[in-house]
């Protein structure tokens, strides 16, 4: 994907009203979704696991898109049979927390 394609993707996301993130990769596997996005307000990339309740549990953050794509692939390999994840915290206000996954 070219730099121009990246800007077009980001611009389309902003126009759609979702200016907080744009999708890098998404994989459905074993009743869950592994979703990796660029989170604009955090200035990083993030992988989250979405379960049958449609809740998203952020599990890993990255500084670069290349690292995000590699991390996404690692999570796709980890998901089959996974019962729970440690949801990432944020600063001092949101602590890390173990979350049960629902299929």
Residue spans of the domains in the chain: they are 24-100
* Averaged pLDDT of the chain: 86
- pLDDT tens for residues 55-97? 999 999 999 999 999 999 999 999 999 999 999 998 888 899 9
3-state SS, the chain, equals CCHHHHHHHHHHHHHCCCCCEEEEEEEEECCEEEEEEEEHHHCEEEEEEECCCCCEEEEEEECCHHHHHHHHHHHHHHCCCCCEEEECCECCCECCEEEECCC
pTM of the model: 0.78
């Amino acid at each position: 994907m070219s730099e121009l394609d990246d800007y077009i993707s980001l611009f389309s996301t902003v126009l759609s009203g979702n200016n907080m993130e744009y999708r890098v990769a998404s994989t459905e596997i074993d009743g869950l979704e592994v979703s990796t996005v660029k989170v604009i307000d955090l200035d990083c990339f993030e992988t989250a696991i979405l379960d049958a309740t449609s809740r998203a549990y952020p599990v890993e953050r990255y500084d670069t898109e290349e690292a995000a794509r590699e991390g996404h692939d690692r999570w796709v390999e980890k998901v089959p049979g996974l019962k729970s994840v440690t949801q990432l915290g944020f600063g001092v206000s949101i602590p890390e927390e173990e979350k049960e996954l629902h299929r």
